[in-house]
């Protein structure tokens, strides 16, 4: 997680849960700007629950934010769930022309709004998720190009 001064925090806020392959989680927990659409749909009662793909969505939001310097969707933790769902339906993330096709493809797969089509939700037997060629070097060059704000020391 990136805070306002670009301090990086890696955490699960002690809310991680083990979900068996065939079961769906239904509790709502997390930081709203990083939560997948199906979490909000579960909260609203229009979705039966969610599984592993929500983690891949969060990875997509984080990767996009690291590359672009902002999240693909404008929302805050105080934004109501129904407004967030409307945002997901109305707003489509933009991908700068300078980003590689591989990077855009990876982010589109991670940020797919249909849970069954998320990158991790491939049919059984399709193998594991592989790193697309050039992803690291592309991401690294984008990160180097983002202007870094001056960061004050934490008190």
pLDDT band at 155 (very low <50, low <70, confident <90, very high): low
The predicted pLDDT at position 131 comes to: 54
What is the reported pLDDT for 130?
56
- 127: pLDDT confidence band, cut at 50, 70 and 90? very low
Which class for 43: exposed (0-12), middle (13-18), buried (19 or more C-beta within 10 A)?
middle
Highest mean predicted confidence (pLDDT) among 55-59, 84-88, 139-143: 84-88
| Domain 32-145 CATH class label | mainly alpha
Residue 63 has pLDDT above 90, yes or no: yes
Inter-CA distances, 65 with 1, 59, 117, 139, 146, Å: 10, 10, 22, 11, 11
Q: Regarding predicted confidence, which is higher, 112 or 122?
A: 112
Higher model confidence: residue 18 or residue 41?
Answer: 41
Provide the pLDDT for residue 125: 41
Does residue 101 have a pLDDT over 50? yes
Contact 42, 28 (CB under 8 A): yes
Q: Domain boundaries in the chain?
A: 32-145
pLDDT (tens digit per residue) in 16-28: 777 777 788 888 8
**CA pair distance 63, 147, nearest whole angstrom:** 16
Whether the CB-CB separation of 40 and 86 falls below 8 Å is answered with no
d(C-alpha 113, C-alpha 41), whole Å? 11
């Amino acid at each position: 997680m990136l805070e306002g001064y670009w301090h990086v925090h890696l955490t699960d806020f002690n809310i991680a849960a083990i979900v068996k392959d065939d079961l769906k989680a239904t509790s709502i927990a997390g930081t709203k700007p990083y939560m997948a659409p199906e979490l909000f749909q579960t909260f609203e009662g229009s979705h039966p629950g969610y599984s592993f793909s929500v983690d891949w969505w969060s990875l997509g939001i984080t990767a996009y934010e690291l590359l672009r310097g902002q999240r693909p969707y404008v929302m805050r933790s105080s934004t109501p769930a129904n407004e967030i769902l409307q945002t997901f339906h109305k707003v489509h993330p933009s991908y700068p022309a300078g980003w590689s096709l591989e990077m855009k493809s990876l982010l589109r797969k991670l940020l797919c709004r249909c849970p069954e089509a998320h990158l991790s939700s491939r049919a059984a037997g399709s193998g594991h998720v592989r790193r697309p060629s050039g992803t690291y070097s592309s991401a690294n060059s984008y990160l180097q190009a983002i202007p870094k704000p001056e960061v004050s020391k934490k008190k």
